[in-house]
């Protein structure tokens, strides 16, 4: 059950990143169950690595549950239920296929952080990151077999273009992995743009953490180093 929810949750956050980024009006304005696998052995605990010093112009964004560093141009935004309703209505107009997958505005609730890049350079789309977690309820997950591979299969069904999978990362002393993909979306002005996504899964003792970064593909080469550095700064706060 946790594996199925994990897969659904990773797909959901990509749809929401798309919806909110398109609703932000772009360009610098802010606004099937996978086959069961035996539980992997509990990994040898790795002492949490200290958070590296922040680059100049970066800010540490801290909540009661986690911290995440981002460039100062990436502004954290609190989205109200009314905001989410408006986002969903816009999505139904511009990308009805994705809206159908999402189902309703209620599915967009429960995120722990949204941040948008006020220096985005893709017309009609705003680079963004969101963070969500999923309680593991004592279950042990393998980041590749239980999370990344099933999600890759689902993204293929959605006509996403798969780029890479990395399953041997460590973030904050915990096992982690990432998947990178791109896909085409319609902007509010009727144009089509390609978005590159990089999604990280971090498995701690209690949670599966999901960090989803979405950027205009024309900026992806320049921004992937920023994305990776931000993801490596993630720390669960106990």
Question: What is the DSSP code (8-state) at residue 39?
Answer: P
Query: What's the pLDDT tens digit per position in 63-109?
Result: 999 999 999 999 998 878 888 788 788 888 887 887 787 778 787 77
Query: What's the pLDDT tens digit per position in 129-148?
Result: 999 999 998 889 999 999 89
Stretch 172-201: mean pLDDT:
91
Interacting residues of 109 by C-beta distance below 8 A, sequence separation 6+: 81, 84
Query: What's the pLDDT tens digit per position in 20-44?
Result: 444 443 334 444 333 333 444 444 4
Residue 39: its pLDDT value, please?
44
Question: Domain spans of the chain?
Answer: 2-236
Q: Where are the beta strands (DSSP E) in the chain?
A: 58-62, 66-71, 74-76, 113-117, 128-135, 161-171, 174-186, 192-203, 207-216, 235-236
Exposed / middle / buried, residue 93 (Cβ in 10 Å: 0-12, 13-18, 19+) = exposed
Round to whole Å and give the CA distance between 74 and 127.
9
* Between residues 181 and 22, the one the model is more confident about: 181
Query: What's the pLDDT tens digit per position in 218-234?
Result: 999 999 999 999 999 99
Stretch 169-180: mean pLDDT:
96
Residue 4: its pLDDT value, please?
53
**2-236 — its CATH code?**
3.40.1000.10
Torsion of CA 4, 8, 9, 15, to 10 degrees: 170
Question: 174-186 and 192-203 as β-strands: parallel, antiparallel, unpaired?
Answer: antiparallel
**The token pair that represents 35 in the structure block:** 């086959």
Interacting residues of 14 by C-beta distance below 8 A, sequence separation 6+: 155, 197, 199, 212, 214
Q: What is the pTM of this model?
A: 0.80
């Amino acid at each position: 059950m946790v594996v199925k929810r994990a897969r659904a949750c990773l797909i959901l956050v990509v749809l929401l990143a798309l919806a909110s980024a398109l609703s932000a009006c772009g360009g610098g304005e802010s606004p099937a169950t996978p086959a069961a696998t035996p539980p992997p052995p509990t990994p040898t605990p790795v002492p949490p690595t200290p958070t590296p010093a922040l680059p100049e112009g970066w800010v540490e964004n801290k909540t009661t549950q986690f911290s995440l560093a981002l460039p100062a141009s990436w502004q954290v935004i609190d989205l109200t239920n009314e905001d989410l309703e408006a986002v969903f209505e816009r999505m139904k107009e511009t990308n009805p296929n994705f809206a159908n997958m999402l189902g309703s505005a209620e599915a967009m609730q429960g995120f722990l952080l949204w941040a948008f890049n006020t220096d985005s350079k893709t017309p009609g789309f705003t680079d963004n990151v969101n963070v969500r977690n999923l309680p593991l309820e004592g279950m042990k997950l393998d980041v590749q077999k239980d999370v990344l591979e099933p999600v890759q299969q689902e993204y293929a069904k959605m006509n996403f273009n798969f780029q890479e999978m990395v399953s041997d990362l460590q973030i904050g002393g915990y096992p982690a992995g990432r998947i990178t993909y791109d896909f085409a979306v319609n902007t509010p002005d009727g144009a089509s743009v390609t978005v590159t996504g990089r999604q990280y899964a971090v498995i701690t003792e209690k949670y599966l953490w999901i960090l989803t970064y979405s950027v205009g593909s024309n900026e992806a080469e320049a921004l992937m180093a920023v994305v990776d550095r931000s993801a490596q700064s993630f720390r669960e706060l106990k």
